Amino acid sequence: MTLRRLLLLAAAAVIATTLLVAPMPASAAPAVSPSAAAAAALTARGNQIVAAARAQRGKPYKYGSRGPTAFDCSGLTGFVYSKVKVNLPRTAQAQYAAARKIPGSVVRPGDLVFWVSGSHAYHVAVYAGAGRVWHAPKPGDRVKLAQIWNWKQVRFGRIPA
């Protein structure tokens, strides 16, 4: 018997076994733990925040602007968080004070990234994953996706739901 024929027979056996097994009743399905449900909700909210930030791509930086046609850094984060019904304070420093500080090892898309000098947050962005952020960088620039820079000054924060 050839290897190909053996593989086909094995695949047919798996399919037949799968079709013969009755579906599990909903009452017997394993329960989802509260922590797993909370993590799933946090992931869904984070994905919505990142999508809202991505939708602002290319809009110009304007100091003090909160959108929808132009943004400064904290205006962008406040605007995209409002899309998931979360109100953030106006400035990067106030958002930093409101955020629960988290280590970089647990940062998720949708969390906030702060650049801090001393105890002052001077820039804020939305974490997009893979070491990248959505942000409104500076005058003359536009909302864009960028790699995190100056890691020594970076702090992460999560806004409670």
Choosing from 73, 80, 113, 121, which is the catalytic residue? 73
Distances (CA, A) of 134 to 85, 97, 125: 19, 20, 6
Residue 102 to residue 52: CA distance in whole angstroms:
22
Choosing from 45, 59, 108, 123, which is the catalytic residue? 123
Can you read off the two tokens belonging to residue 89? Answer: 């304070």
Choosing from 45, 59, 108, 135, which is the catalytic residue? 135
- Whether 66 is catalytic: no
In residues, how long is the chain?
A: 161
Residue 6 to residue 62: CA distance in whole angstroms:
66
- Report which DSSP code applies to 151: G
- Whether 73 is catalytic: yes
The 3-class secondary structure across 120-146, one letter per residue, is EEEEEEEEEECCEEEECCCCCCECEEE
- Whether 125 is catalytic: no
**Active site residues per annotation:** 73, 123, 135
